[in-house]
Chain A
Amino acid sequence: MTKNLKLDVKIGSLHMKNPVMPASGAFGFEMASLFDFNELGALVPKSITKYPRGGNDTPRVCEVTGGMINSIGIQSKGLPYYMEHIIPEYAKYDVPLIASISADSIEEFAEMSEIIGKDPAVSAIELNISCPNLEGDGKAFGMDGDLSFELIQKVKGVTDQPLIAKLTPNVTSIQEIAIACEEAGADGLNVANTILAMAIDIHTRKPKIGNVMGGISGPAIKPIIVRMIHQVRNVSTLPIIGCGGIMNSDDAIEMILAGASAVQVGTANFINPLSMIEVLEGIKEYMVEYNISDINNLVGKVNIPSSTTTLY
Chain B
Amino acid sequence: MKAYPLEVLSNVQVSERYWHMKVDSTIIDESITAGQFFNIKCGEGELPFLRRPFSIYRINREEKTIEFLYLVKGSGTVQMTKFVPGENIDVFGPLGVGFSLKEEWDSILLLARGVGIATLAALAQEAAEKNVKCVAILSARSNNDLLAAETLQGFGATVVKVTEEDGTSNVENVQRLVNQLFEEHDIKAAFTCGSMRLSRLMQRSAEKRGIPGQIALEEHMGCAVGVCYACVCDVRGPHGINSVRVCKEGPVFDLEKVVLT
Contact = CB atoms under 8 A, between A and B. Distances in A.
Same complex for A and B? Answer: yes
Interface of A: 25-28, 30-31, 33-34, 46, 54-55, 58-68, 70, 72, 75, 218-220, 269-274
A60 B51 contact: no
Contacts of B248: 30
B227 A27 contact: yes
B220 A62 contact: yes
Contact of B49 (A30, A33, A46, A65): A65
Dominant secondary structure at the B interface: loop
Interface stretch (B5-13, B40-48, B118-126, B143-151): B40-48
Dominant secondary structure at the A interface: loop
A202 to B, nearest CB: 13
Given A55-B243, A75-B243, A219-B46, A30 B227 contact: yes
Contacts of A218: 49
A70 B50 CA distance: 13
A64 B51 CA distance: 13
Interface of B: 1-3, 41, 46-51, 92, 219-233, 243, 248
9 contacts: A58-B231, A58-B232, A60-B229, A60-B230, A64-B47, A64-B49, A270-B51, A270-B223, A271-B49
A274 B41 CA distance: 14
B229 A72 contact: yes
A219 to B, nearest CB: 7
Given A55-B243, A270-B224, A273-B92, A61 B230 contact: yes
B221 A67 contact: no
Nearest to B92: A273
A28 B226 contact: yes
B243 A270 contact: no
B50 A68 contact: yes
A65 B45 CA distance: 9
Contact of A59 (B47, B49, B50, B220): B220
A60 B49 contact: no
B197 to A, nearest CB: 17
Contacts of A273: 3, 92, 225
A75 B49 contact: no
B180 to A, nearest CB: 35
A55 B242 CA distance: 11
Which interface residue of B2, B227, B232 has the most chain A CB atoms within 10 A? B227
A14 B224 CA distance: 32
B44 to A, nearest CB: 10
Contacts, number: 93
A63 B47 contact: yes
A31 B225 CA distance: 7
Nearest to A75: B229
A65 B46 contact: yes
A27 B226 CA distance: 9
Nearest to B39: A270
Contacts of A72: 228-230
Nearest to B225: A30
Contact of A70 (B49, B228, B233): B228
Contact of A274 (B3, B221, B227): B3
Nearest to A59: B220
A245 B147 CA distance: 42
Contact of A220 (B46, B220, B233): B46
Contacts of B2: 33-34
A31 B227 contact: yes
B243 A70 contact: no
Nearest to B220: A59
Given A67-B49, A75-B243, A219-B46, A270 B228 contact: yes
B230 A66 contact: no
Q: Which 4 A-B pairs have the closest CB atoms?
A: A28-B227, A66-B46, A61-B230, A30-B226
Nearest to B75: A63
Contacts of A63: 47-50
Nearest to A46: B227
A26 B229 CA distance: 9
B253 to A, nearest CB: 15
Contact of B222 (A31, A55, A64, A270): A270
Contacts of A25: 227-229
Which interface residue of A68, A72, A270 has the most chain B CB atoms within 10 A? A270
A271 B227 contact: no
